Homo-oligomer: A and B are copies of this chain.
Amino acid sequence: MQIEVICTGDEVLTGKIVNTNFSYMTQKLEDVGLAVRWGTTVGDDRETLLDAFLHASRRADAVIVNGGLGPTVDDLSQEIAAKAAGVDLVLNEEWLATMEAFFARRSRVMSSNNRKQAMLPATAEILDNPIGTACGFAMDIGKARFFFTPGVPRELRRMLEEQIIPRLLAKGGTPGAIHLKRFHSYGLGESHVDQLLQGVEELVPDGSAKLGFRAHYPQIETKLTVRGANHADIDQKLGPVIAEVRKRLGNFILAEDDDTLEGVILKALQRAEGSLALVETFTGGQMAARLLPLPGAEGVLRRGVVSRDLTQICDAVGLAGGEPLDITNETAEAVARAARRQSGASHALAVLIDLDTGPDRIDFGGTICIGIAAGDHVESRRSRILGGREWVRLGAVELGLDCLRRYLHGLPVSERIDFERN
């Protein structure tokens, strides 16, 4: 099946907004084994829209159109769809009622503009939008089935997953169900993960398991897709593959599915009725900024301190008065211990960084000393990361948080990672 995605709107065409809807859609389709062949972007202009719809109707079997379903005069998708198919626009009473109920529930008056959103091509099949007033719809134009979707990301996402993907899978003749399992890892490069997982797909002999990777430094996402006749069939196939992936990637898996590194840390601390003090240098508040927005974090992250000046750090955690210190594992342990004691937290994480000097460059690096304190216990880890200022900063945030995750889960804090150079 040949699929085309058409994104509409002047804001997308002129780059006023970055088109994340496109990558979201193609990624989601890819995840269920549907490959997109063409992407087209056009503005809110009748002639180019019509041209784009007609061109797609000739070359594709399925077309997803995004945007242009709003109430304003520059929202043209219904009008041009009707024109491309040679059918009339008619008022859809069902959607009008849905919209009126939508506004009534929110005690708001529906503006007369919104009526336009219920004007649909005569042959349109409604695709429900439970969270907005833009009416999704599907219809044939030429040889292709078109799916019209709202530009608002959360409305698009829900409609794509609940309404469009099932229809595309049915249209493509794909039998049964599909499941996507995701593993987030840190410390192994993409090609290393790929190599470690060689042969895992073959654990499902009928070829219905597929692995894919997505690198967003410093994490790698491993995606495992399994098809089956039904959910029970999928569960049976998935079990041994998931076990094997977990075994091979081992301690490097930091979270699965919708979980995140910071979420896993928060959960582990909450489970232990623990709390945390953070000490940051060149990471500049980014570790705190990962944890603190999470609901419930206010009760766990007791205190964060940030400075690029080690004397300030020592003063802030009550380590003042001693000899001037260097950035070493011993210092990181002492700082973590002092921060824990001073804040009354059960755990403390200190990430101290000795940054190279001079201008930013590809081999610019930093030496990172990480200290973790809990009760009377301290641990530390030293690492060196190269790759430019921003690369070192991102790497240090991840390494620091990952060491804490390992500590909280009883895993070895020091395990060599692909990104370090010592």
Complex Cα distance, B40 from A37, in Å, reads 11
Docked-complex contact A25 and B18, CB < 8 angstroms:
no
Within 8 A of B (CB), among A15-73: 15-20, 22-28, 30, 35-43, 45, 48, 52, 55
Tell me if A238 counts as interface (CB < 8 A to partner B): no
Docked-complex contact B292 and A306, CB < 8 angstroms:
yes
CB-defined contacts of A350 to chain B, threshold 8 Å: none
Given A16-B214, A301-B308, A302-B312, do A38 and B48 touch, yes or no (CB 8 Å)? yes
Tell me if A316 counts as interface (CB < 8 A to partner B): yes
Q: Which of A139-147, A265-273, A283-291 contacts B (4 or more CB under 8 A)?
A: A283-291
CB-defined contacts of A308 to chain B, threshold 8 Å: 292, 297-299, 301
In this complex, what residue of B is CB-closest to A43? Answer: B37
CB-defined contacts of A389 to chain B, threshold 8 Å: 293
What's the minimum C-beta distance from A219 to chain B, rounded to whole angstroms?
14
What's the minimum C-beta distance from A129 to chain B, rounded to whole angstroms?
17
Tell me if A93 counts as interface (CB < 8 A to partner B): no
CB-defined contacts of A315 to chain B, threshold 8 Å: 343
Tell me if A393 counts as interface (CB < 8 A to partner B): yes
Docked-complex contact A285 and B304, CB < 8 angstroms:
yes
CB-defined contacts of A289 to chain B, threshold 8 Å: 284-286, 289
CB-defined contacts of A41 to chain B, threshold 8 Å: 22, 38-41
What's the minimum C-beta distance from A361 to chain B, rounded to whole angstroms?
12
Tell me if A282 counts as interface (CB < 8 A to partner B): yes
CB-defined contacts of A48 to chain B, threshold 8 Å: 37-38
Complex Cα distance, B390 from A9, in Å, reads 26
Tell me if A309 counts as interface (CB < 8 A to partner B): yes
Complex Cα distance, B111 from A302, in Å, reads 54
Most B-side CB within 10 Å, residue of A16, A17, A35, A299: A16
Within 8 A of B (CB), among A144-191: none
Tell me if A83 counts as interface (CB < 8 A to partner B): no
Give 6 nearest A-B pairs by CB, closest first. A285-B285, A39-B41, A284-B292, A15-B27, A285-B288, A15-B23
